[in-house]
Structure 1
Amino acid sequence: MHRPRGRRQGRHRHRPPPRLPGRHASARPRRAHPDPVRRPHRAVRGARGPRHLLDEGELPTAVVAYNDQCAIGVLAALSRAGVPVPGRVSVAGYDDDALSRLSLVDLTTVSQSAEDQARHAVRAAVERLDEGRKEPREVVLAPRLVIRGSTGGVKP
Structure 2
Amino acid sequence: MSDVARAAGVSPALVSLAFRDAYGVSKSSRDHILATAAKMGYQPNRVASRLASKTDDTLGVFLLDLHNEVFADMFDGMREAAQLTGRELVLAVGSVSGGLDRPALDSLVRARVDVTIAAGLLLSDSELAAYSGRLPLVSVARIVPGFDAVASDNVLGASLAVEHLLSLGHRHIVHLASPPTDGYLGRREGYARAMKNAGLTPHVITCGYSRSAAFELVGPLLDSADRPTAIFTHNDQTALGVLDSVHSRGLRVPKDITVVGYDNTSATNLPGIDLTTIDLHPVDLGRRAAEIAVLRSKDPASEPMVEVFTPSLVVRASSAPPQL
* TM-score using structure 2 length: 0.40
Percent identity between matched residues is: 29
Using CA pairs below 8 Å that are at least 6 residues apart, which structure has the higher relative contact order? 1
Q: Structure 1 residue 118: deviation in Å?
A: 2.0
Q: Structure 1 residue 57: deviation in Å?
A: 1.7
Write out aligned runs for 1:78-117 (5 A): 78-117=246-285
Q: 1:139 and 1:10 mapped to 2: Cα distance? A: 23
Write out aligned runs for 1:71-150 (5 A): 71-131=239-299, 134-150=302-318
Q: Structure 1 residue 152: deviation in Å?
A: 1.3
Q: 2:267 and 2:225 mapped to 1: Cα distance? A: 29
Amino acid at match of 1:104: G
Q: Structure 1 residue 38: deviation in Å?
A: 2.9
Name 1:48's counterpart in structure 2: 216
Name 2:200's counterpart in structure 1: 30
- Cα 1:38–1:83 shift into 2, 3 Å: same
Q: 1:127 and 1:10 mapped to 2: Cα distance? A: 32
Q: 1:32 and 1:13 mapped to 2: Cα distance? A: 19
Name 2:227's counterpart in structure 1: 59
- Cα 1:116–1:13 shift into 2, 3 Å: closer
Aligned length: 147
- Cα 1:32–1:111 shift into 2, 3 Å: closer
Contact 1:127-1:133 within 8 A present in 2 as well: no
Q: 1:52 and 1:9 mapped to 2: Cα distance? A: 16
Q: Which digits, 9 at most, give the CA deviation of each residue in 1:87-143, with x for residues without a partner? A: 221101111122212112111111111221122112212222235561011111011
Q: Does 1:4 align with 2:172?
A: yes
Amino acid at match of 2:212: V
Select the structure that is richer in strand: 2
Show structure 1 runs of 5+ residues with no match. none
Amino acid at match of 1:146: V
Q: Which digits, 9 at most, give the CA deviation of each residue in 1:4-57, with x for residues without a partner? A: 34433345689x98xx9xx8xx59x63544xx3233321123111222212322
Match of 1:48, SS?
Answer: helix
Select the structure that is richer in helix: 2
* TM-score using structure 1 length: 0.78
- Cα 1:148–1:5 shift into 2, 3 Å: closer
Q: 2:224 and 2:268 mapped to 1: Cα distance? A: 28
- Cα 1:39–1:119 shift into 2, 3 Å: closer
Q: 1:102 and 1:5 mapped to 2: Cα distance? A: 24
Contact 1:5-1:31 within 8 A present in 2 as well: no
Amino acid at match of 1:80: S
Name 1:155's counterpart in structure 2: 323
Q: 2:300 and 2:213 mapped to 1: Cα distance? A: 45
Q: Superposition RMSD on alpha carbons, in Å? A: 2.9
Could you say which structure has the larger radius of gyration? 2
